[in-house]
Amino acid sequence: MNHSRYVARSTAIAARALGDETMVMSATDSTLFTLDEVASVIWDAADGVTPLDEIVANKICTQYDIAPEIALKDAEALVENLAEHGILRLSDQPLAQSSSSRREG
Amino acid sequence: MPSVTAVAQSSGVVVEIGGLPIRLRCDSPDFLRQIKERYDGYVGSSNDADFDFEIELAPPGSVSHDEDVRVTWDSERWLMKRGDFRAEWNPSAARGRIQQTSNPYSLDSVLRIVHTLLLAREGGFLLHASSAIRNGRAFLFSGVSGAGKTTMARLAPPDAALLTDEISYVTRRDGRYSAVGTPFFGELARVGENLQAPIEALYLLAKGPKNKIEPIVGADAVRGLLGNILFFARDPEFVKLVFDSAFDFVRHIPVRRLTFVPDTSVWELIV
């Protein structure tokens, strides 16, 4: 059965765009990821409320010459990989972005 | 009337690195003496300190050396622990406590962690790099273990003042990046000179058949820098601060690849 999946950027990360790329660092293990142009589009759109298939259809397939089913398969592999490292959250339900508390040091 | 020992216990030793004086108190005069010797050149002449740490010495053999370092924020204090120490630090109260054996290396690790946390607030960081001042400007040589940090320090000419062969101290004050001497050493086992100078360039080290300098820009520069910054705290806000600092640093300081033959000729390029 095909169902929508939702993706949200983790709050336990630091991220910044540099040209077409996005650099993301995990706050839990300091691992650094560099997202290429297409992955950056998905990253930017990962707001927790837009389904992944909708992101792929509206943001990827309209801009890049790629078959929708291949694009979705690639996108799912990407978000699962990033979720394994804790920098994206994945769910079958819409996700709310959480906040973190302030501290000194 | 208090004894000389009692006076030493109450005053402790103030170790000032990067202009941040930290008072270390301990019941053991022997350990305070070890601290003075270990941080020779960085022991403050004044008794004033921004932070106070009380050191409690545990008996030898009461600690494990297997546990990795862990730094976490717990509502109002930083908790730091590794197999050979447990420490906590409340920045608001300017006080902390360290439990360790009488091995000065444990204290060294706590001080490194505290300084990374303090530096992060001002846009600075500790970097796996040797550094030296030449002609009034600081040069940083960064890389993983074996890349040549200590080699560059060993090959430094007499007119270069060595700041460290292992852990460089980078500050951002008044909008300028400077490198500051540290007592944190590596294979060279020599405390760096307690000096500072504006940073001229960061060199990422690689050994090769001939001396060569190439610019590194954009994401490659950020990656190269971030890969060598000391991250202790697994804490989102701390990581974000340091991450942003790395981007700011590469905007202001040239980052270059220094491929070098390990002989003194490499320093002809560092001017």
Tell me: pLDDT of A23 over 90. yes
The CA angle B163-B165-B171, to the nearest 5 degrees, is 45
Every domain of chain A and the residues it spans = 6-90
| Percent of chain B clearing pLDDT 70 (strictly above) | 94
A25 contacts B243? CB cut-off 8 A? yes
- Residue that wins the pLDDT comparison between A72 and A102: A72
Q: Tell me what pLDDT residue A28 has.
A: 80
Which residue in chain B has the smallest CA separation from A18? B219
Q: What is the 3-state secondary structure (H, E, C) of chain A?
A: CCCCCEEEECCCEEEEEECCEEEEEECCCCCEEEECHHHHHHHHHCEEEEEHHHHHHHHHCCCCCCCHHHHHHHHHHHHHHHHHCCCEEEECCCCCCCCCCCCCC
Write the single-letter amino acid at B45: S
CB contact under 8 A, B92 and A104: yes
User: A23 versus B6: which is more confidently predicted?
Assistant: A23
Nearest by Cα to B168 from B18, B3, B8: B18
Gap from A69 CA to chain B (nearest CA, Å): 31
| Ramachandran bin of B197, using left for φ above 0, alpha for ψ from -120 to 50, beta for the remaining angles | beta
Low-confidence stretches of chain B (pLDDT beneath 50): 1-10
Q: Are B82 and B98 in contact (CB under 8 A)?
A: no
pLDDT for B2: 44
Instruction: Provide the number of CB pairs (under 8 Å) joining chain A to chain B.
Output: 62
A103: pLDDT strictly greater than 60: no
Tell me the pLDDT tens digit for each residue of A46-90.
999 999 999 999 999 999 999 999 999 999 999 999 999 899 999
- Asked if the Cβ–Cβ distance from A103 to B235 is below 8 Å, we say yes
Q: Which two tokens stand for residue B210?
A: 């001939």
Report the pLDDT value the prediction gives residue B176, as an integer from 0 to 100: 96
Question: Which of B193, B135, B192 has its CA nearest to residue B159?
Answer: B135
Which CATH number is associated with domain A6-90? 3.90.930.60
- Report yes or no on whether pTM surpasses 0.80: yes
Residue B193: predicted pLDDT? 94
Distance of CA B135 to the CA centre of its chain: 23
B-chain residues within 8 Å CB-CB of A19? 218-219
Please tell me the predicted confidence (pLDDT) of residue B1: 46
B194-199: long-range contacts, CB 8 A cutoff, minimum separation 24 = B194/B41, B194/B42, B195/B133, B195/B161, B195/B163, B196/B133, B196/B138, B196/B163, B196/B171, B197/B133, B197/B136, B197/B137, B197/B138, B198/B136, B198/B137, B198/B138, B199/B137, B199/B138, B199/B139, B199/B140, B199/B170, B199/B253
Asked if the C-beta of A69 comes within 8 angstroms of chain B's C-beta atoms, the answer is no
User: Which of A13, A22, A24, A30 best tests the B interface by mutation, with the highest count of B CBs <10 A?
Assistant: A30
Name the nearest CA neighbour of B234 among A62, A14, A83.
Answer: A14
Predicted pLDDT at B203: 98
Under an 8 A CB cutoff, do B227 and A32 touch?
Answer: yes
Calculated CA dihedral for residues A85, A86, A91, A96, nearest 10 degrees = -160
pLDDT band for A31, please (50, 70, 90 cuts).
confident
- State the pLDDT at residue A2: 54
pLDDT over 70 (residue A22): yes
Q: Which residue of A has its CA nearest to B242?
A: A14
> What pLDDT does A105 receive?
59
Decide if A85 contacts A35 (C-beta within 8 A).
no
| Average pLDDT score, chain A | 89
Instruction: Dump the DSSP string for B108-139.
Output: HHHHHHHHHHHHHHHT-EEEEEEEEEETTEEE
ipTM of the complex model: 0.78
Q: Rounded to an integer, what distance in angstroms lies between the CA atom of residue B256 and that of residue B213? A: 6
Q: Out of A23, A27, A104, whose CB is closest to B239?
A: A27
Q: Does A99 touch chain B (CB under 8 A)?
A: no
Structural domains of chain B sorted by starting position, each given as residue range(s) with its CATH number in brackets: 4-118 (no CATH), 125-268 (3.90.228.20)
Predicted confidence (pLDDT) at residue A99 exceeds the cutoff of 90: no
Question: Which residues in B lie closer than 8 A to residue A14 (C-beta atoms)?
Answer: 236, 239-240, 242-244
**Closest to B156 in 3D by CA, of B268, B20, B31, B16:** B268
Residue A96: pLDDT band (50, 70, 90) is confident
Say if residues B29 and B73 touch (Cβ distance below 8 Å).
no
**Closest partner residue to B117 among A16, A30, A105, by Cβ?**
A105
